[in-house]
Amino acid sequence: MTGAARLAAISAQRAGSGIVALASEKEAEEIYFISLTSQVVKSYKNIKEYNTIINEPRIDSIVIGPGLDIGNKSILKIKSALKTNKRIVLDAGAISCFKDKLGILIKALSGKDAIITPHEGELKSILPNLSGSLISKALKAAKILDTIVVLKGATTVIASPNNEALVNPAGAKWLSTAGSGDVLAGIIGGLLSNKMKTYYAAAYGVWLHSEAGKYLGAGLIAEDIPKTLTKILKKIEKTNI
């Protein structure tokens, strides 16, 4: 699913990452080289080469999960990313990999500066016994995983292990489209690379994503969202002058 990774990479750069590198398995490198322009593509043949890429000292944040296969090979990549002690966003496949493997996920996240961005179905796959309101579920998940949780939906909840929660109310219903979550993961990753505190990067990223959806309106597709971020950010600049 190369489109997901491309959407995340482009969105990270639009959100403020000065340089974005996309780590690609060797077999998929051609599509990335052809379709990406200002994003650096680095391919790898094995886990050793992958580790070299993600441990590059200039990297401040890592987004892992968009387009990622589900399986033990991917779990190894996720663990390696978390071991870098860089700031991490776990999205999509990086969440689904841990279905029925909650203990492994908790151990991997322990002590890490990370954000996990599930929708309700993905959250249920790793924490099937959660119940209550959206806020309650997000807070319980954040406590169990000891990390920031962005529980995505029409209404999105950003929760911390410290029992804090912010709610982004329902509004841009058109954001329920393929690839939209990959864009959000990229936006948050871009904000993290600029040293924004993790909890606020998650909340601000959700808000930017939502505002872009409101601006674009009916008929939007995920590819439209990154380009619209410049307009939203310009509005913020004018407000602050």
pLDDT tens track, the chain, 241 positions:
799 999 999 999 999 999 999 999 999 999 999 999 999 999 999 999 999 999 999 999 999 999 999 999 999 999 999 999 999 999 999 999 999 999 999 999 999 999 999 999 999 999 999 999 999 999 999 999 999 999 999 999 999 999 999 999 977 789 999 999 999 999 999 999 999 999 999 999 999 999 999 999 999 999 999 999 999 999 888 776 5
pLDDT at 236: 87
pLDDT at 70: 95
pLDDT at 237: 82
CA 64-121-167 angle, to 5 degrees, is 80
8-state DSSP, 152: B
pLDDT at 36: 96
CA 98-179-42 angle, to 5 degrees, is 75
- Within 10 angstroms of residue 197's Cβ, the number of other Cβ atoms is 13
Q: Tell me how far apart the alpha carbons of residues 156 and 165 are, in angstroms, rounded to a whole number.
A: 10
Residues with Cβ within 8 Å of residue 134, at least 6 apart in sequence: 120, 151, 153, 155, 157
Cα–Cα distances (Å) from 235 to 4, 132, 212, 241, in that order, read 28, 37, 11, 10
Burial of 168 (0-12, 13-18, 19+ CB in 10 A): buried
Domains, in order of start, for the chain: 2-240 (3.40.1190.20)
Region of 41 on the Ramachandran plot (φ > 0 left; ψ -120 to 50 alpha; else beta) = beta
pLDDT at 172: 79
Cα–Cα distances (Å) from 134 to 45, 120, 131, in that order, read 41, 9, 9
**Taking a C-beta distance cutoff of 8 angstroms, is the pair 152, 184 a contact?**
yes
pLDDT at 240: 64
Interaxial angle between packed helices 134-145 and 102-109, expressed in degrees from 0 to 180 and rounded to the nearest 10 = 70
**Taking a C-beta distance cutoff of 8 angstroms, is the pair 199, 148 a contact?**
yes
* pTM of the predicted structure, to 2 decimals: 0.96
pLDDT at 170: 78
Token pair in block for residue 170: 């329902």
